[in-house]
Amino acid sequence: MTRPLEYQLFLSNPIGKGTIFLSHWSLTWPHVQLPRFYSFTATTLNLGECNLREASRVFDIMSKGRGCGPNSVTYSILIHGYCQIGKLDEAFHLKKEMSEKGCQPTTRTYTVLIKALCDIGLTDKALGLLHEMVSKGCKPNVHTYTILIDRLCREGKIEEANAMFRKMLKDGLFPGTVTYNALINGYCKEGRVISAFELLGVMEKRQCKPNIRTYNELMEGLCKVYKTYKAMFLLKRVVDNGLLPNRVTYNILIDGFCREGQLGLAFETFKSMSSFGLEPDCFSFTALIDGICKQGRPGHAISILGSMVKKGISPDEVTMTALIDGYCKIGEIGNASMLFGKMVEKRTLTTAHTFNCFLDVLSKDDKVHATQAMLGKMLKYGSVPSVVTYTILVNALCQTGEITCALKMLDLMRQTSCPPNVYTYTVVINGLCQNGRVEEAEILLFSMSDFGIPPNHITYTVLIEALVNASRLDHAYEILRVMVQKGYQPSTRIYSALLAGSVLSSEAKEEARSVSSSNFVDAGTLPSRDINDDCISRHVFRNMEIEHAFSLEEKIKRYGGSATDLYNFVVMGLCREARVAEADQITKDLLKRGLLPEKAVCALINSYCKERQFDRCLDFMKMILNHGFVPSVSSYCSVIQGLYSEGRAEQGEELFSDLLRHNDIKEKAAILPYLEILVKKEEPEHCLDILKLIEQMGCRGRPII
């Protein structure tokens, strides 16, 4: 049978001529049904079509044709196309249309839409879509869950992400490396590195092999809690396992050492990149430059900039801003201005960050005219002041006591396209409190919501501290009640202020007044926030009685606060002041009441280790295990390290086995190397030996992935 010319043309080049052919068929033979296989062919055309407009035309032809209606795959592909270009309204319209035409959305359809919602931060709507998906009998797959887990982790909702992970397992799905990486990254970003390593053990137990990104996430987590030298030990483990470190791996380590001020190790790590054939990039150089500048040596950083340029790597806005900030911090405004001129010349100014460096230092030096001149220069070069810019200026006005001007600037920001954020309001509220205008600060706090900016926990904290300082303790508790109703739990700063208020309003008040005036603003008030939080809490924990904590607990519970959080704070404070016996008494009482103060337990165990009271520590650990409470891995690590340092290796090994057993780690071999990294009390100096070893491995031959 001879095929029509158009038919042959379509088969020979479906992407290029498909639309023309389908249009021609529908116009020439409107009464003839399109062959059934065209549903598949036209769907494929949609998939391969770069132009969404043309793909939509094909879709319309399919919808009008007889016997060639679009199916769920066709809809999903077009929905995906709309999502990719950000047209979510059209995508959801198509989803509604396909349901109306009896073509039910598939797992892919829902997953594409869930990802699109997550990408623009509409997580609640994405979760609602997941609920709709399940209610209609459409099962989510691993990709669906992974998208949601990743988004929740990015928003810092690690517990919700963990719950989603457990639901995924309950549904009989096996998470892949990408899923585990998302959750590990979430834990690391929250500073919960121990939990991240525990998840790594679970990952390997389930025969899911970690990749280099997994290790990069863990290294970044260790660097976040200032344990970069332990990240270096993990790098050795990566190489031993036959994985190849990449540029990201080294950049994480370089940046980590720089943040800790370990510039020598940062440079050694930088130089060792070549052992694996890796070349530094702009981020590598910028991390070094920023680290040197933060140590007040921008002149040395300039030489690094020269090396960077010689390698053909152009400094970006972040690099130059780091240098300018370095010069501004040491008061060399002239050199900073010269670099600024080069940025203007090369047109690398795209944000207000560079200007903010100048404004910050000028405002702190009370150079009002220079600050105004810099603001004028910012406008001259077409850079729009950001909310950070305005907040710096508002803070400067508050610090000089010009509260009225600061309030006027808030009004100015509202009138422009740069409305104040919660930090701007908090700066003004803090300024009002510092100038004794607490009532006005309270009014401003409650008016924030009228402008669509609800106060955060810092805003409430500032006001509560000010009320306690003003001897208005009862009113401070009222603000605490509002804070808890809004979903914020008290922070350690609030506990410190309220506890100090209780101490000063009781028998300890006379004793507190006798303390040197250098430690207090006025007799009977809290120490100035300019002194520091440590000064306040140390005085409080030296003078408090346990009854003060019990009294505060009653009020905290009355207003909806957490007693566990309070006692975590109290026990940690008592341990810091070496009042270990009282901390022990409180902790045991809490455990008998069924409360599980994890931080308090950890603080007490660390105190026992610090005082070398390992027998009492082991007895305490046995007692809390009998109450069904398993100490954290970090607590176990502290005791194991202490036992080994005392020559009690056998007991240390027994405790290590207990650690694995109580954490349900049955395959010791899988998790042992990573627990060793956390347990070993290595010093940063040892990293040089590890770097040399890794370099030798790299020179001997590349690891096999």
Domain boundaries along the sequence of the chain: 456-561
* Distance (Å, whole) CA 126 – CA 483: 28
Contacts of 345 (CB under 8 A, 6+ apart): none
Q: What is the pLDDT of residue 696?
A: 67
How many CB atoms are closer than 10 A to CB 144?
25
- Tally of residues, the chain: 705
What is the three-class DSSP state of 574? helix
Average pLDDT over residues 81-92: 76
DSSP state of 656: H
Range in 159-173, 175-189, 477-491, 666-680 the model is least confident about: 666-680
Range in 4-8, 191-195, 372-376 the model is least confident about: 4-8
| Tens digits of residue pLDDT in 578-634 | 888 888 888 888 888 877 778 888 889 989 988 899 999 999 888 888 877 888 777
705/474: higher pLDDT: 474
How many CB atoms are closer than 10 A to CB 549?
23
Q: Is the pLDDT of residue 666 over 80?
A: no
Average pLDDT over residues 62-91: 68
CA terminus-to-terminus distance, the chain: 55
User: Given CA atoms 327, 329, 333, 339 in this order, what sign does their dihedral have?
Assistant: positive
Q: Is the pLDDT of residue 557 over 90?
A: no
Range in 69-73, 102-106, 485-489 the model is least confident about: 69-73
Range in 99-108, 116-125, 158-167, 169-178 the model is least confident about: 99-108
Q: Which amino acid is residue 584, in one-letter code? A: D
* Distance (Å, whole) CA 444 – CA 440: 6
Average pLDDT over residues 444-464: 92
Given pLDDT bands bounded at 50, 70 and 90, which one contains residue 146? very high
> Which among 75-79, 234-238, 540-544 has the top mean pLDDT?
234-238
Range in 284-288, 416-420, 557-561 the model is least confident about: 557-561
Q: Is the pLDDT of residue 496 over 70?
A: yes
The three-state DSSP-derived secondary structure of 489-556 is: CCCHHHHHHHHHHHHHCCCHHHHHHCCCHHHCCCCCCCCCCCCCHHHHHHHHHHHCCHHHHHHHHHHH
- The tally of CA atoms less than 13 A away on the side-chain side of residue 472 is 15
| Tens digits of residue pLDDT in 259-290 | 999 999 999 999 989 888 899 999 999 999 99
Contacts of 501 (CB under 8 A, 6+ apart): 468, 473, 476, 526
425/705: higher pLDDT: 425
How many CB atoms are closer than 10 A to CB 58?
22
> Which among 27-31, 213-217, 530-534 has the top mean pLDDT?
213-217
Helix 533-543 and helix 492-504, axial crossing angle in degrees, nearest 10 = 50
180/64: higher pLDDT: 180
| Tens digits of residue pLDDT in 646-659 | 888 888 888 878 87
**Nearest by Cα to 509 from 475, 474, 471, 552:** 471
Q: What is the pLDDT of residue 61?
A: 54
Q: What is the pLDDT of residue 292?
A: 95
* Distance (Å, whole) CA 117 – CA 325: 38
Contacts of 526 (CB under 8 A, 6+ apart): 465, 468, 469, 497, 500, 501, 504, 520, 536
> Which among 41-55, 225-239, 504-518 has the top mean pLDDT?
225-239
Place of tokens 């006379």: 510
Q: Is the pLDDT of residue 558 over 90?
A: no
How many CB atoms are closer than 10 A to CB 159?
11
Q: What is the pLDDT of residue 676?
A: 67
How many CB atoms are closer than 10 A to CB 57?
15
CB-based burial label for 237 (10 Å; 0-12, 13-18, 19+): middle
Average pLDDT over residues 379-396: 85
The percent helix, strand, coil of the chain (3-state, each to 5) is: 75, 0, 25
| Tens digits of residue pLDDT in 231-250 | 888 888 888 888 889 999 99
* Distance (Å, whole) CA 682 – CA 688: 12
User: With pLDDT > 70 as the criterion, what percentage of the chain qualifies?
Assistant: 79
Q: What is the pLDDT of residue 63?
A: 54
DSSP state of 472: -
Average pLDDT over residues 400-417: 87
* Distance (Å, whole) CA 589 – CA 609: 21
